[in-house]
Amino acid sequence: DGVKEMRIDYVYKVVVIGDSAVGKSQLLARFSKNEFSFDSKSTIGVEFQTRTTTIKSKVIKAQIWDTAGQERYRAVTSAYYRGALGAVVVYDITKRQTFDHVVRWVDELRAHADSSIVIMLIGNKADLEDKRAVPTEDAVEFAQDQGLFFSEASALSGDNVESAFFRVLEEIYSNMA
Ligand code: GDP
Ligand code: MG
């Protein structure tokens, strides 16, 4: 009849963090629903989005958590990080301060999350090249120093969004195998 129960082999919790307005919620919307919106409404009541995918014939349900405004009050609690196997730390390539704050978010992760957590740094809004305030090389250097994966991406165009999230899921998978 064409209707099949989907077998889920693993559920991977991934948290998205970074300063307010860098595009965390839109990256998540792009990855989970292939949607984008210019006037993001706050996602009150929505804690995470999911997307189910296949890695090496295993069915992986990615459960991707959004901070939903808590970042403004530095109120991200340890419960948010609990059980996370992956983290996406986002800055805005047009706002230098959001990149300067990445080190704080990484410190937060090291304090609260499991030491084996897979971390991906994303420089979002790569479509706004004419407003760039963070050279790619600065982020490459920081990511190498800290042992993070790195990609620039655009939630608006969709460029590199899938590949960045899939990189996290594949890395989690290979660490478990
Ligand atoms: P959050 O606070 O980190 O969750 O940021 P949002 O996802 O709410 O995005 C903040 C603003 O940036 C919204 O107006 C989005 O439409 C815009 N935005 C998000 N991603 C992009 C992007 O890749 N390119 C551009 N040009 N704007 C973006
Ligand atoms: Mg948001």
pTM: 0.94
Q: ipTM, 2 decimals?
A: 0.99
104-126 average pLDDT score: 95
Q: How many Å apart are CA 6 and CA 8, to the nearest integer?
A: 6
Nearest CA to ligand 1 atom 19: 23
Nearest CA to ligand 1 atom 8: 40
Q: How many Å apart are CA 63 and CA 149, to the nearest integer?
A: 19
Sheet bearing 48-55, strands edge to edge: 48-55, 58-65, 10-18, 86-92, 118-124, 149-152
Nearest CA to ligand 1 atom 16: 38
- Ligand 1 neighbours by CB, cut-off 6 Å: 20-26, 38, 40, 124-125, 127-128, 154-156
| Gap from CA of 71 to ligand 2 centroid (Å) | 9
**pLDDT tens, 127-140?**
999 999 999 999 99
Q: Which amino acid is at 59?
A: V
Point out the ligand nearest to the CA of residue 156.
1
Nearest to 168 by CA among 102, 106, 119: 119
